[in-house]
Structure 1
Amino acid sequence: MPFDHLWVTGAHKATRISFSKDVNINGKIIKKGEYAFFTIPGKKRWILIFNTKVEQHLTDDYNQSEDVVRIEAIPEILPVPVQRLTYKVKETSKSDGIVSMEWDSLKISFSVTGIGAKI
C-alpha cells in the first residue's frame, strides 16, 4: 500500500468494526454501533479512521465528512513478517483491550476502554 493514501485496510469492502457499548479509543468517545475502518499509512505514523458509512466498496464511496473520529498510531516493526492481514483483540481487563492489525513487517494498534460495561 502506498504511503499517505487512504486504504480500506482489508479486501474489496470496507473493514467493519462494531462496539456493543460506547467506548473510548485513545481518548476519543465512540458511540456503540458499527463503523467502517480505514487507515492512511505513513512512514512514521498512521491515521486510523472510523467512518459511519459501513457499506463501502474499497475507498470508492469514502467521504471524510462521514468520519466519526481519526486517531494517530505509530507503527511497530514486527520481529517476523506476517503474510496475511491479521486483526487481533487482546483483552487487558474486563472492560479494556487493545486492537491490532498486523501485515508484512508492521503492526498498528489502538486501545479501547469500555464505558460502564464489558467490551
Structure 2
Amino acid sequence: MSTNSVDSFNHMSANQLNERLANEALVIVDIRDANAFANGRILGAQHLTNDNLGDFIRVADLDAPTVVCCYHGISSQQAAQFLASQDFSDVYSLDGGFEMWQTTHPEKVER
C-alpha cells in the first residue's frame, strides 16, 4: 500500500486486498454501473451510486477500512478522495479495479 501525499487516500493492490480480507473485515464499495455490478463483483462488495451515497455516508463507520473499486482503478481514486473528504479515515483505491481483481482472484468473484 502506498500513500500519496497529495491525496488523503491510499492505494491497494488486488493481492494486498486479498491478504487483508483473510484477516480483517473491510468495507468494499463498487462504483461501477448497475449492470457491471450485477454481472460480477468482489465477494461482499456493496454497490455505491450517486443515489445511495448519502445513505452510505450517514450510516458508515468512518474509521473502518474502506476500499473503493471501479473498472480499472482510475475512477475509484476520485471516489476515494471524496470519501476521505467526508471524514473517512482509512480509504483505499483498488489499483487495477475489478478487472485486476477478476484476473488475479477469479474464485472470489460473486455473481
Q: TM-score, normalised by structure 2?
A: 0.27
Q: Which has the larger radius of gyration?
A: 1
The two structures have a TM-score, normalised by structure 1, of 0.26
Normalized per residue, which structure has more helix?
Answer: 2
Higher relative contact order (CA 8 A, sep 6+): 2
